[in-house]
Chains A and B, each alone.
Chain A
Amino acid sequence: MSKTITIDGKAIPFEEGQTIMEAATAAGVYIPHLCHHPDFTPHGSCKLCTVKVNGRNCSACTFPAVEGQDVLNNSKDLHDDRQKITQMLFVEGNHLCPSCEKSGNCQLQAVAYHLNMLDNHFPHFFANRVVDASHPEVMIDHNRCIFCTLCVRASQQKDGKDVFAISGRGINQRLIVNAESGLLKDTDLEDTDQAVHICPTGAILIKRTGYQVPIGERIYDHKQIDQVSLAASGSRPIATLPPSLAVETEHPQHGEE
């Protein structure tokens, strides 16, 4: 008999060694997340995937599934707090969706829509951050970095390089690159690296590709992030048309489940 945990009253099977996130995803249950990616070591920093495990808050992406756990994922309190955590990410950096090349393909934006985030709630930090456009193919807009470390992990774990790192402490954290000059052009980064394609926001972009797919025809213009995320993890196959062809779907029902 396989082992099970309960998520929102539903029995979910899991295998020994799986995290709550892995068990949930395999069973087609979406738990909001930004720093998590199934291909990389979980990080547990964004805290969007916080679920209640037997009444206690835990990060689903790092917390191991254990027989009999009673997990709460879909509650008003969790939803409201996840929304506030997302708002924190928005005010910390400078996320101006309407003028961002990533709009529509951005996971931060999509999660915000999914959580029905309609304003930023908190006062803005208006952080003074720079753009590194030194590399011929890739650019970093530090205004949009949320310190998820996906690029750090992808560079180490997939690309076999060490291009990125997080430096600094607390609110003064920053993404740094591995070059004596501190500039992206002097690293061994190539535009084919996984690290370049993993960014859940518009912080790392490939130059001259920003508008190849018009706004309105992008991934999250037509699908909620829960569907896309589950499909990408191969748990509950839904139509996987390239985003530019997937125009027959209904208008996105932002904020509705």
Chain B
Amino acid sequence: MRQFIQFLAEKNHHQATHLLQILRAIQSRYHYVPKDAIEQLAGLLHIPRTRIISVVEFYSFLHLTPRGYYELLISDSITDHMLGKINLTGYLAKQLNVAVGGVREDGMVSLDNTSCTGLCDQGPAGLVNGHPLPRLDRTRIDVITELINQQKPLAEWPAELFKVEDNIHKPGLLLKQQIDHGAALRTAFKRGMQETLAEIDKSGLRGRGGAGFKTAMKWRFGLEEQQNERYVICNADEGEPGTFKDRVLLNSFAHQVFEGMTLCAAIIGAQKGFVYLRGEYLYLYDKLQSILNERRKAGLLGINILQQGLDFDIEICLGAGAYICGEESALIESLEGKAGIPRNRPPYPVTQGYLGKPTVVNNVETFYAASAIAVNGGEWFANVGTEKSKGTKILSISGDCTRTGIYEFPFGTTIQTILEDCGASDVLGVQIGGPSGTFISNQEFDRRLAFEDLSTCGSFIVFNNHRNILDIVNNFTRFFAHESCGFCTPCRVGTSLLKKQLAKIVEGHGSAGDVVVLEELCQLIKNYSHCGLGQTAANPVLTTLGRYPEVYQSKLKEISYEPGFDLDGALETARRLAKRNDAGAHLAQTEENHE
């Protein structure tokens, strides 16, 4: 092991900024991060061991205790639940003789849940040692069980098990018309960088991650900072449950995404770019590296790009299971080899980002669109969409519809049209923009896809009338509690309190005042949290409570109050110590139960 750690440190030039990448490699090889590795690494990177431990404990894919030789994770996204995930996980656990959350005695296999894997259109899905396992069913689980019990290396597993589909059902302005490799850069060099920025401005392109900040304005801010070192970051940490369009863009159109990044670098004067690729998309890593190499060979990346004197290169860094790293300043912290905790703002990344230098962070789709705009001009893009939301939006559609997958719609399209196109019927409602977005009911399908109406990062989950709203909200609320970074009090404590309070109501223990308490808690988390995660963590409750108050009310008991904790459960230790289990050793939760 000592040699391997030494090798990793040297390969990463003893840079602590590469800590997360180094730890990923250690986890991948030993299926945990051993204590000795931490000690050795602390010495080699000249950082305290506490820094390493805090990184390991922050990311879901890193562990201080051994996981199985085969690390199995099953996606916990609501869409996986709708496709029978619970049943399948139970079956998997039984076949493999391993508990969910545990490691089998022989150390061969571990099984656990994980946040959305970005395979909602081909779930139920899982990961084995970071590689995707889409379309799980009992037949596939039997095959996987057999392979694991035979201890077959992953390389020898049938490729079909890992095959991820693009499922592009409706290409539009961008997806229909790919640009030639280098076309955006050639056009931009010919037109001039300032003029190209003006075209992007004219296009009205706004950030596709969901927040919708004007792209040209962000690039201009980056350009105007008085610094000689700048960075371009592509945010490919597509973690919002129900979103998977960036996975498809990177799988099939990576050239155009990289070209958008290079274009941004040429405009703002950056020499270095990063793609922060979510750990769940590990399987894309080699493919993306080879595309980068192709581009270097073609003179589209590296030194003196297209003989125009532009030096720019791109490095791909992998995440390790932390939704919060989709927040741009948390992403930068993660790139610097730290826990992904959002920074205080101001300063914004565009003035002080990676290593304190001006940094433009954009979504995969934003870079993808920017390169098309550079070729086709701003007007081409601005002619489509609404006044405030120009162009098109690429959606990831999942849930109750006949054709789940990728769709591209002009902004301004009604939800009704989208539902018709994806083959949804008997619809209860749609979750737009993922758990952090909005739940709309079937009375609102005339609303439109637009920043000024329903803004979205691309997640579009359809629910039919057989679905239970509280199950959906419960799943989303648990997700946020699990993904809260823990930095600020309202989100750290609040999301866990919210999870408990909602569970109390859903499980039928709520009484008259409990919905009021629930709402009060939501407002507190929303108004006082440090970053977007906390500020939106209560959206699932708030957007459904407003629309379906009766669903919550119907769950309440007709008593004035029931304690939030289990009175009888609290006596368990005492009963064990006293070796008693008679009626007198039990307490009823409420007086009502006594009668």
| Same complex | yes
Report which A residues bind B (CB closer than 8 A): 42, 44-48, 50, 57, 59, 62, 64, 81, 84-85, 88-89, 91-92, 122-125, 146-147, 162, 164-173, 176-178, 180
Among residues of A, the one whose C-beta sits closest to the C-beta of B59 is A169
Q: Please encode chain B, from 484 to 498, with 1 for each CB lying within 8 Å of some chain A CB and 0 for all others.
A: 111111101111110
B486 and A173 contact, CB distance less than 8 A: yes
CB-nearest residue of chain A to B50: A165
Instruction: Give the docked Cα–Cα distance between A210 and B321 (Å).
Output: 43
Interchain CB contact under 8 A, A88 and B489: yes
- What chain B residues lie within 8 Å of A81 (beta carbons)? 524, 527-528
User: Contact partner of B322 among A167, A169, A177, A180, CB < 8 A?
Assistant: A169
B346 surroundings in chain A (CB, below 8 A): 64
Contact between A173 and B524, CB atoms less than 8 A apart: no
Q: Enumerate the 6 nearest inter-chain pairs by beta-carbon distance, A residue then B residue, closest first.
A: A165-B50, A123-B564, A88-B493, A167-B54, A170-B484, A173-B486
Q: Does B24 contact A (CB under 8 A)?
A: no
Interfacial chain A residues near B202, Cβ < 8 Å: none
- B58 at interface by CB-CB < 8 Å: yes
Shortest distance from the beta carbon of B518 to any chain A beta carbon, whole Å: 12
Residues of A within 8 A of B424 (CB): none
In the bound assembly, the distance between CA atoms of A92 and B491 in angstroms comes to 12
Q: Which of B8-50 contact A (CB under 8 A)?
A: 35, 39, 48-50
Interface status of B63 (Cβ within 8 A of chain A): no
16 pairs of residues in contact across A and B, judged by CB atoms under 8 Å: A45-B489, A46-B488, A47-B530, A81-B527, A85-B524, A85-B528, A91-B497, A92-B493, A123-B497, A123-B564, A165-B54, A167-B57, A169-B322, A171-B493, A178-B48, A178-B50
Q: Nearest CB to that of A148 among chain B residues?
A: B489
**What's the minimum C-beta distance from B419 to chain A, rounded to whole angstroms?**
35
Q: Does B51 contact A (CB under 8 A)?
A: yes
Across-interface contacts of B53 in A (CB, < 8 A): 165, 167, 176
Q: Write out the residue numbers on chain A whose beta carbons fall within 8 Å of the beta carbon of B322.
A: 169
Q: A64 to B345, alpha carbons, bound, how many Å?
A: 10
Could you say which of B58, B486, B490, B527 contacts A171, with CB atoms under 8 Å apart?
Answer: B486
Within the assembled complex, what's the spacing in Å between the Cα atoms of A48 and B49?
31
Interface size on B, residues (CB 8 A): 41
Q: B481 near A170 (CB under 8 angstroms)?
A: yes
A57 and B481 contact, CB distance less than 8 A: no
B497/A59 in contact, CB under 8 A: no
Distance to closest chain A CB from B536 (angstroms): 15
- The docked-state distance in angstroms from the alpha carbon of A94 to that of B529 is 23
A47 touches B528 (CB 8 A): yes
Given contacts A57-B527, A123-B563, A123-B565, 16 further A-B contacts (CB under 8 A): A46-B488, A47-B488, A81-B524, A85-B489, A88-B489, A88-B497, A89-B493, A92-B492, A124-B565, A125-B496, A162-B48, A165-B54, A167-B53, A172-B486, A176-B50, A177-B50
> Please, which residues of chain A bring their CB within 8 A of the CB of B490?
47, 85, 88
Which chain B residues numbered 83 to 139 have a C-beta less than 8 Å away from chain A? Answer: none
Are A164 and B344 in contact, with the CB atoms below 8 A? no
Q: Are A89 and B48 neighbours in the complex by a CB distance under 8 Å?
A: no
A81 to B530 Cα, complex, angstroms: 15
Give Cα A84–Cα B482 distance, bound, in whole angstroms.
22
Q: A123-B500, A124-B565 are in contact. Are A170 and B488 (CB under 8 A)?
A: no
A62, A89, A169, A171, most chain B CB atoms within 10 A: A169
Nearest Cβ distance between residue A163 and chain B, in whole angstroms? 8
Given contacts A42-B344, A46-B489, A170-B495, contact A176 B54 (CB under 8 A): yes
Which residues of B, 485-525, contact A by the 8 Å Cβ criterion? Answer: 485-490, 492-497, 500, 520, 524
Cα distance A168–B57 in the bound complex, in angstroms: 5
Q: Are A169 and B485 in contact (CB under 8 A)?
A: yes
- Chain B residues near A168: list those with CB within 8 A: 54, 57-58, 486
Contact residues in B for A165 (Cβ distance below 8 Å): 48, 50-51, 53-54
Whether, in the assembled complex, B483 has its beta carbon less than 8 Å from a beta carbon of chain A, the answer is yes
User: Which residue on A lies nearest to B565, using beta carbons?
Assistant: A123
Q: In the complex, how many angstroms separate the beta carbon of B82 from the nearest chain A beta carbon?
A: 26
Q: For the complex, what is the distance from the CA of A212 to the CA of B59, rounded to whole Å?
A: 43
Q: How far is the CB of A55 from chain B (nearest CB, A)?
A: 12
Please indicate which of the listed interface residues B51, B53, B483, B528 has the most CB atoms of chain A within 10 Å of its own CB.
Answer: B528
Contacts of B489 in A (CB 8 A): 45-48, 85, 88-89, 146
Q: Which residues of B contact A42 (CB under 8 A)?
A: 344
Q: Is B54's CB under 8 angstroms from A62's CB? A: no
Q: Is B48's CB under 8 angstroms from A170's CB?
A: no
Contact between A59 and B49, CB atoms less than 8 A apart? no
Closest CB of chain B to A22's CB: distance in Å? 14
Which B residues are in CB contact (< 8 Å) with A164? 50
A122 touches B483 (CB 8 A): no
Which B residues touch A84, using CB under 8 A?
520, 524
B486: A residues at CB distance < 8 A: 147, 166, 168-173
Chain B residues with CB under 8 A of A167: 50, 53-54, 57-58
Please measure, in the bound complex, the distance between the C-alpha atom of A125 and the C-alpha atom of B497, giving whole angstroms. 9
Q: In the docked arrangement, what's the CA distance between A45 and B493, Å? A: 12
Complex interface bits, B294-332 against A, C-beta within 8 A gives 1, otherwise 0: 000000000000000000000000000010000000000
A45 to B563, CA, bound (A): 30
Interface string of B542-567 (1 = CB under 8 A from A): 00000000000000000000011100
CA distance A62 to B347 in the complex (A): 10
Instruction: State whether A180 and B39 are in contact (beta carbons under 8 Å apart), knowing that A47-B530, A85-B528 are contacts in the complex.
Output: yes
Decide yes or no: A44 and B344 within 8 Å by CB, A81-B524, A125-B496, A180-B39 being known contacts: yes
**Complex alpha-carbon distance, A116 and B256, angstroms:** 59
Q: How far is the CB of A200 from chain B (nearest CB, A)?
A: 13
**Chain A residues within 8 Å of B528, by CB:** 47, 50, 57, 81, 85
Chain A residues whose CB sits within 8 angstroms of the CB of B563 once the complex forms? 123
- CB-based contact A91/B485 at 8 Å: no
The residue of chain A having its C-beta at the shortest distance from the C-beta of B51 within the complex is A165
User: Across the interface, which residues of B come within 8 angstroms of A64, CB to CB?
Assistant: 346
Q: How far is the CA of A164 from the CA of B54 in the complex (A)?
A: 11
A59: B residues at CB distance < 8 A: 344, 530
Chain B residues near A124: list those with CB within 8 A: 565
- Given A62-B344, A122-B497, residue A170 in contact with residue B49 (CB < 8 A): no
**A147 neighbours in B (Cβ, 8 Å):** 486, 492
- Minimum C-beta distance from A54 to chain B (A): 14
Min distance, Cβ A208 to any Cβ of chain B, angstroms: 27
Interfacial chain B residues near A47, Cβ < 8 Å: 488-490, 528-530
A93 to chain B minimum Cβ distance, whole angstroms, is 10
Nearest Cβ in chain A — how far from B357, in angstroms?
19
Question: A52: nearest residue on chain B (CB-CB)?
Answer: B527
Chain B residues within an 8 Å CB radius of A172: 57, 486
Closest-CB distance, A174 to chain B (whole angstroms): 8
Chain B hits for A173, CB < 8 A: 486, 492
**Could you tell me the distance in whole angstroms from the C-beta of B516 to the nearest C-beta in chain A?**
13
Closest residue of chain B to A89 (Cβ to Cβ) is: B489
A178 to B42, CA, bound (A): 11
Contact A45 B500 (CB under 8 A): no
